[in-house]
Structure 1
Amino acid sequence: ILAAVAAVVFTNAINDYQKERQFRKLNAKKDDRCVKLLRDGREQEINVKEVQVGDVLLMEPGDLLAVDGIILKSHNITCDESSATGESDAMKKDTTERCYVISGSKVLDGSGSMLVTAVGTNSFFGKTMMAMREATPDETPLQIKLDHLAEAIAKLGMAAAVAMLFTLIVKYFVQLALAGKGLPTSDVIFSDLVKIVIQAITIVVVAVPEGLPMAVTLALAHATTQMLRDNNLVRVLSACETMGNATTVCSDKTGTLTQNKMTVVEGTLSLLSFSFMDGAKTWMAEARKDVSEIVIESIALNSSAFEDKDEQGNLAFVGSKTESAMLGFIKSLGASYSTLRADVNLAKVYPFSSAKKTMSCVVESPRGKEPYRLYVKGASEIVLRLCTHYVDAEGDIKPLDGQARAKFDQIISQYADKALRTIALSYRDVSASEFKKFNDEEAPNDKLICLGVVGIQDPLRPGVVESVHDFAKAGVTVRMITGDNLQTARAIAKNAGILLKGGLAMTGPEFRALSKADQTEAVKRLQVLARSSPTDKTIVVRRLQELGEVVAVTGDGTNDGPALRMADVGFSMGITGTEVAKEASAIVLMDDNFSSILK
């Protein structure tokens, strides 16, 4: 028995040590990361751990903010808060209405400064981390079953021992009476009774399956090594068997089901349509060369995004997600934005305006009909109103009459129904005399020629549709819980095969407003929950558990942390996942692949 107990203890300890060591390697950060700030009236560069409340932090594109703060100066600052809030859209920050910045955000564009208001455990990121550590794990389904088994065996063994004890004592005294020799001395009777009690105790000892915990522990330890080969890093040993009993999977959208990387997925340029990158290359071959050159030049020059190395040393686009998607589009077509920018002189730039929803630039155009060319891009319906002509399938410029406008409106409507973000591209040639009349404040967006419309979306990860289908065949229901808007969530859920006929899609505030009984009833049909907060996610998990479901939760953001911890088994993303998500999860998907859960 002692050997069995020792084996269980050592197996658990060694396994936990190995997994925690691998997890720490996976989650290692650069402790010497420095930030720029103003302290004592001068600019300093200090370690991120030494930032204090009251410091003025300087913000630049690419910065990962480790503290909460209030914007003091903003020059078109745009932040990505998807890891903290689940909202995939970039958030514009200013000094009035949208002045609060939370830790975990990444500066995509612009520059400025912020007053630090919370650091460490008092920041948004820190509070979430501390909440993860306070939670206590519940018993797993296998532990509950083993407890019931052990209790049943104990009761049966005890009953058998008592019955045997009673039977042997009766037999002992009956045999003494039948022998007719009288009662032996008390010492002999006591010795014989002790032997009978030992026999009864032996039954109890034999009945207890002391080898069962060791067998289960060894089996689970072996399972963790097997799962590691399938890119599943198991941090909690019992999570292996829990996942085998899962009846529902609640998945985040951004970064889990989707790639958290805005991409051009559809487009109609010079009235030639394409889908995904293979179709774009076909469009490149079919479109007239001078038209495709104008399109590529328009995207490359009329943009403030650029390519740089990320934290892992990989090349990635820095700037607005929409502009990064556009640059990624022309890069896949074999064009180099940096070469184009180096070869062309920018005469004027009109940055993106949230009021006008457009961005414009004027470039010198030695090969064009006029010495200058104006490029304009922006919200499709707004840019289309500024256009008077368009480029047709043959590459000819035609007047944008009522019929042509209706055609473009139909294209925009089709893309909107698929929850695509539509961007229109346009241009016009500008004479030298007209260029002199341009001012630096008001973009001359009129009499434009429409090049076409592209649809941008955060696409599904490869294999997600097949995985959802396989889950359904195994009797496991997949639900999407996201911070994104309802229309986008519906479209993605339909594409993934999550939102089916009869399924319920609603927003977090709507779900939160329901009574407990109504929430329990709604969660039975719930397949999509949009605009959800971390609280909404935990409520859904709790209601499902109350219905007897074994719940698995997948997520990569800070906002997924509470739900990952509360779930019976939590999956986080090893590459793109935040530290909070990994800390809260029981299993880390090393390859960030939703399909790895099935393995």
Structure 2
Amino acid sequence: HDPNEPRVGWVEGVAILAAVAAVVFTNAINDYQKERQFRKLNAKKEDRCVKLLRDGREQEVNVKEVQVGDVLLMEPGDLLAVDGIILKSHNITCDESSATGESDALKKDANEHCYVISGSKVLDGSGSMLVTAVGTNSFFGKTMMAMREDTPDETPLQIKLDHLAEAIAKLGMAAAVAMLFTLVVKYFVQLALSGEDMPDGGEIFSDMVKIVIQAITIVVVAVPEGLPMAVTLALAYATTQMLKDNNLVRVLSACETMGNATTVCSDKTGTLTQNKMTVVEGTLSLKSFSFMDGAKTWRSEVKDSVAEVVIEGIALNSSAFEDKDEKGNLAFVGSKTESALLGFIKSLGASYSTLRADAKLAKVYPFSSAKKSMSCIVESPQGKEPYRLYVKGASEIVIRSCTHYIDSEGEVKAMDDAARTRFDQIISTYADKALRTIALSYRDISSSEFKKLNDEDPPNEKLVCLGVVGIQDPLRPGVVESVRDFAKAGVTVRMITGDNLQTARAIAKNAGILLKGGLAMTGPEFRALSKADQTEAVKRLQVLARSSPTDKTIVVRRLQELGEIVAVTGDGTNDGPALKMADVGFSMGITGTEVAKEASAIVLM
């Protein structure tokens, strides 16, 4: 080292160490901050109390302290955190859509349908269950633990950078070897041509070391040390920008993977749709409407007397009610169908609670799966008769019991063959759109007839048909436009759902996912195919219905084998494995389960 020059040899080494530290800490701090936000997101939801029987008395304990052998008390609105077997059931209905993808509510009893899985929500009824599995041994826990197995795959950008680094390294090494060879040859040729005596071994060795250092310098210069830091800082900036758009990026590399996605596999229930049954079409008093705006127009067009009968019948002939959910928002608790109907009259400006408070119920006939209807009798002081019967249920069965109907003028007419055919056509049209059809009807009952009634069999005969409504879990706003934008960008959208094929087809067509030439099939059918046939089928596959978590992962794997960059969106426990396996997984922050959020790389807040 020249004593007259400053000692700056250390600067390069420190600069490289600083760059490496910046890359490592930027990644680590970013991931830590996002994970901390994610943990906060779930901590409040997980910290709740449940009622159970322990040591022969009723207790309220933290959900984390529930043990196998406890008898858990079930009430409408409860979110079950454990697996169990029903001991006592008073019309318990559970929503297992977040765990299985099945959008229909399931009846539970102590005999045939007695097993309850964690992640279910009690919609209606009450009872008790024996806890059989908690924590990591429960259905929810097993799925959650499967999500935590670290299998980090390289992202598309990492693969491209690896190829670039490899190419630079090869080129650099080739240039260094060529330069080393050239300089060595030049050194000895110049020595030979100079005519001087050959220097001693120490001097030749010193000169050779200098030549090797020059060759090594080429290799060092060729390596882009700043590239990893530039990429990391760019991605870290991207995550902060995405957070402003309510996207919580849990894995830094997901930002660039998202931009490389070539196909999106989306869940239906709760992701494309709202997971909230809604009246989307109806024909009441022979006047049709679509969605809530159309319903308000219908209300202004029909006679007040007809609208009052419809609203009163829905409000009184129902066991659903409005209450605050776990997030503090008002929501209907009870059967999804009844909640949809109450939501319908609420949109018309009616208050079900006021109507119930003013009315006096004389008899109630709860929903019967055998009769597929629900009835109630109320005292009707202003009516033609002292009592009025309201009936609602499966449209084919209720209309079969109708002898009259209300026409567009609000007049009661006899149900002739032409009218019956018209109602059948309405039901058929709604069924083709995969809508659940519910018929509403009523009739007045005299005092003498009322006295003859028993408490078991509702007098569902000689009814006056008010009309039919079609109920469906509607698409979220903006879904159709998003699918169209994906198509323009060359990204294929596929729907993979646990729901039935007919409903899945209808929703996929409405969303613009199922197109001409596209394939729609069920999970069991897809699973039964050979690996080669699955690979061929997945190229045209646009809708996969009745799919299990395993089916979803098979589809993702087959697409990845074809070289696709797969993004998966979902909100349910059953979406967890596919979210984890995908190149980038998106979960719903508000409606999503903890399993889905744990498995995803990006949480949509």
After TM superposition, the score normalised by the length of structure 2 is 0.97
Offset from partner CA, 1:572-597 (integer Å, 9 cap, x none): 0010000000000001111xxxxxxx
215, 221, 224: which one aligns with 2:239: 224
Deviation of 1:149 (Å): 0.7
Q: Decide whether the 8 Å contact of 2:271 with 2:570 is kept in 1.
A: yes
Q: Decide whether the 8 Å contact of 1:389 with 1:448 is kept in 2.
A: yes
Q: Distance in 1 between matches of 2:576 and 2:45?
A: 22
Query: What aligned pairs does 1:139-218 form with structure 2 within 5 A after superposition?
Result: 139-218=154-233
Deviation of 1:135 (Å): 4.1
SS of alignment partner, residue 14 of structure 1: helix
Q: Decide whether the 8 Å contact of 2:289 with 2:298 is kept in 1.
A: yes
Q: Decide whether the 8 Å contact of 1:236 with 1:586 is kept in 2.
A: yes
- 5+ residue gaps, structure 2, are 1-15
**Deviates further, 552-561 or 155-164:** 155-164
Deviation of 1:264 (Å): 0.3
Q: Decide whether the 8 Å contact of 1:135 with 1:565 is kept in 2.
A: no
Alignment match, 2:457: 442
Offset from partner CA, 1:115-141 (integer Å, 9 cap, x none): 111100000000000000114121111
276, 280, 291: which one aligns with 2:291: 276
Q: Distance in 2 between matches of 1:382 and 1:41?
A: 46
Offset from partner CA, 1:443-490 (integer Å, 9 cap, x none): 111111000000000000011001101100100000000000000000
Alignment match, 2:527: 512
Q: Decide whether the 8 Å contact of 2:95 with 2:122 is kept in 1.
A: yes
Deviation of 1:386 (Å): 0.8
Q: Distance in 1 between matches of 2:47 and 2:472?
A: 36
Q: Decide whether the 8 Å contact of 1:270 with 1:451 is kept in 2.
A: yes
Change (3 A) 1:380 1:96: same
Alignment match, 2:313: 298
SS of alignment partner, residue 452 of structure 1: strand
Q: Decide whether the 8 Å contact of 2:571 with 2:592 is kept in 1.
A: yes
SS of alignment partner, residue 419 of structure 1: coil
Alignment match, 2:253: 238
- Count of aligned pairs: 590
Change (3 A) 1:123 1:25: same
Deviation of 1:32 (Å): 4.1
Deviation of 1:322 (Å): 0.5
Query: What aligned pairs does 1:387-406 form with structure 2 within 5 A after superposition?
Result: 387-406=402-421
Deviation of 1:29 (Å): 2.5
Alignment match, 1:56: 71
SS of alignment partner, residue 134 of structure 1: coil
Q: Distance in 2 between matches of 1:383 and 1:340?
A: 24
Q: Decide whether the 8 Å contact of 2:367 with 2:374 is kept in 1.
A: yes
Deviation of 1:204 (Å): 0.6
SS of alignment partner, residue 53 of structure 1: coil
Alignment match, 1:354: 369
Deviation of 1:27 (Å): 2.5
Q: Distance in 2 between matches of 1:20 and 1:329?
A: 40
Deviation of 1:30 (Å): 4.3
Alignment match, 2:142: 127
Query: What aligned pairs does 1:9-88 form with structure 2 within 5 A after superposition?
Result: 9-88=24-103
Q: Distance in 1 between matches of 2:427 and 2:292?
A: 19
Question: RMSD value over aligned CA atoms?
Answer: 0.8
Deviation of 1:343 (Å): 0.2
Q: Distance in 2 between matches of 1:27 and 1:75?
A: 32
SS of alignment partner, residue 104 of structure 1: coil
Offset from partner CA, 1:238-272 (integer Å, 9 cap, x none): 11111111110000000100000100000000101
**Deviates further, 514-523 or 22-31:** 22-31
Deviation of 1:97 (Å): 1.6
Structure 1 runs, 4 residues or longer, greater than 3 Å off? none
Deviation of 1:294 (Å): 0.3
SS of alignment partner, residue 27 of structure 1: helix
Q: Distance in 2 between matches of 1:225 and 1:441?
A: 62
Q: Distance in 1 between matches of 2:600 and 2:50?
A: 29
Q: Decide whether the 8 Å contact of 2:567 with 2:582 is kept in 1.
A: yes
Q: Decide whether the 8 Å contact of 1:277 with 1:332 is kept in 2.
A: yes
SS of alignment partner, residue 46 of structure 2: coil
Q: Distance in 2 between matches of 1:559 and 1:456?
A: 25
Change (3 A) 1:31 1:262: closer
Alignment match, 2:428: 413
Offset from partner CA, 1:492-518 (integer Å, 9 cap, x none): 000000000000000000000111111
Deviation of 1:184 (Å): 1.2
SS of alignment partner, residue 490 of structure 1: helix
Q: Decide whether the 8 Å contact of 2:45 with 2:326 is kept in 1.
A: no
**Deviates further, 80-89 or 169-178:** 169-178
- 5+ residue gaps, structure 1, are 591-599
SS of alignment partner, residue 360 of structure 1: strand
Offset from partner CA, 1:67-100 (integer Å, 9 cap, x none): 0011111110000101000111111111122111
SS of alignment partner, residue 427 of structure 1: strand
338, 355, 362: which one aligns with 1:340: 355
Q: Decide whether the 8 Å contact of 2:486 with 2:492 is kept in 1.
A: yes
